[in-house]
Amino acid sequence: MSKIAPRLPWFGPGKFPLYLAPMARHTDVAFRQLCKEQGADVMVTEFVQSEALIRDNAKAWEMVDFTESQRPMGVQIFGATPASMAKAARLVCDRMRPDFLDLNFGCPAHKVIEQNAGSGLLRCTPLLYDLVKSVKDAIPDIPLTAKMRLGWDHSTIVAVEVAGRLEQLGVEAIAVHGRTKEQGYSGEAHWGWIAQVAAAVNIPVIGNGDVKDGASAMRRRAETGVSGLMIGRAALGNPWVFAQIKASMEGREAESLVVTSRQRWDCMLRLAELTIEVHATRLGSRDVRWMLDRLHPLTHGLPGGRKLRDRLRYCLTLDDLRHLRDAHLVEVAA
């Protein structure tokens, strides 16, 4: 069942959007491009601190960058001061004109919750509501959405109550990650709570947590009243997951599930090329060494993946990477 959100036209009858989940240090412009090419319908930047945007921090502004072909795009911000969040939201909307602005009420990282930001706001909901009101007033021209967890811990699940209040305050869609702050990323996502949130509000709810393939996506769609799904970690090693889920939903399973070693390598090369293009630097430079770590999830599924990850560390240029690909493809064919 897809609910209607007039200013978010990717929801509605016959539509069921697949979102790429925001993931800090992973879902930058380059990685998002790969996912877009594989059928991700809607994407959101990783979270960016409101104060950093206000200070005009270059790195923060780089993080909210996106290309026109990646639309519909949301920019996600976090913070705990209503005035700063409102100011940052206005700046982002003026400079980037995103399709929506998203508020983070889910991050469990210590340095974020100690400022009462991210999932820290789920244990001080009056502040969370003040913050939403301030941002909403500051950006009447851009749809406002939110992404949240179920609550602080299992004894304080607030998702249904918070979602209802967010709807009253004018939030137009809510993504719910079915874990508490205490769970971090462990245990299972509780989709029963996500279903309860979806039943409680009239705005679209996007379900998130452990969706990894066509079967899990179909199951969650059938069991809950969500209007779309959000996929995170599964996309890191398998950007094809969006196309695979769509194939399953359209009843064309088998032919699109097999990803060959060549396709995996092409994808790794493409991610490396896009990263270098976006960050205007060399593969071996300190700035993008993290990018090689980002290739690791894509090597899972390649024969001899562990050894390959060791060899990746010695790649300093795109040519090194191409040589490694050629050698590896010959080895696995032998």
Ligand X SMILES: Cc1cc2nc3c(=O)[nH]c(=O)nc-3n(C[C@H](O)[C@H](O)[C@H](O)COP(=O)(O)O)c2cc1C
- For 106-158, the DSSP string reads ----HHHHTTT-GGGGGG-HHHHHHHHHHHHHH-TTS-EEEEEESBSSTT-B-
**Piece of the chain touching ligand X by CB under 6 A; list 193-201, 226-234, 256-264, 284-292:** 226-234
302/333 Cα distance (integer angstroms): 12
Q: Please count the other Cβ atoms lying within 10 Å of the Cβ belonging to residue 143.
A: 20
Q: Is 104 in the site for ligand X (CB under 6 A)?
A: yes
Position of tokens 């209607």?
A: 4
# binding residues, ligand X (CB under 6 A) = 22
**Please, what is the minimum distance in Å from the beta carbon of residue 231 to ligand X?**
5
252/234 Cα distance (integer angstroms): 20
Among 35, 93, 107, 315, which one carries the catalytic annotation? 107
Check if 107 is active-site.
yes
The residue number with the shortest CB distance to ligand X is 232
Q: Is 120 in the site for ligand X (CB under 6 A)?
A: no
Q: Is 231 in the site for ligand X (CB under 6 A)?
A: yes
**Complex with ligand X: residue 139 or 231, whichever CB lies closer:** 231
Single out the residue of 74, 82, 151, 209 in contact with ligand X (rule: CB under 6 A). 209
**Complex with ligand X: residue 26 or 325, whichever CB lies closer:** 26
Single out the residue of 3, 32, 136, 177 in contact with ligand X (rule: CB under 6 A). 177
Region label for 252, one of left (φ > 0), alpha (ψ between -120 and 50) or beta (otherwise): beta
The neighbouring-strand residues paired with 230 are 19, 208
Q: Is 239 in the site for ligand X (CB under 6 A)?
A: no
The residues annotated as belonging to the active site are: 107
- The residue ranges that bind ligand X (CB under 6 A) are 21-24, 26, 46-47, 76, 104, 106-107, 147, 177, 185, 208-211, 231-234
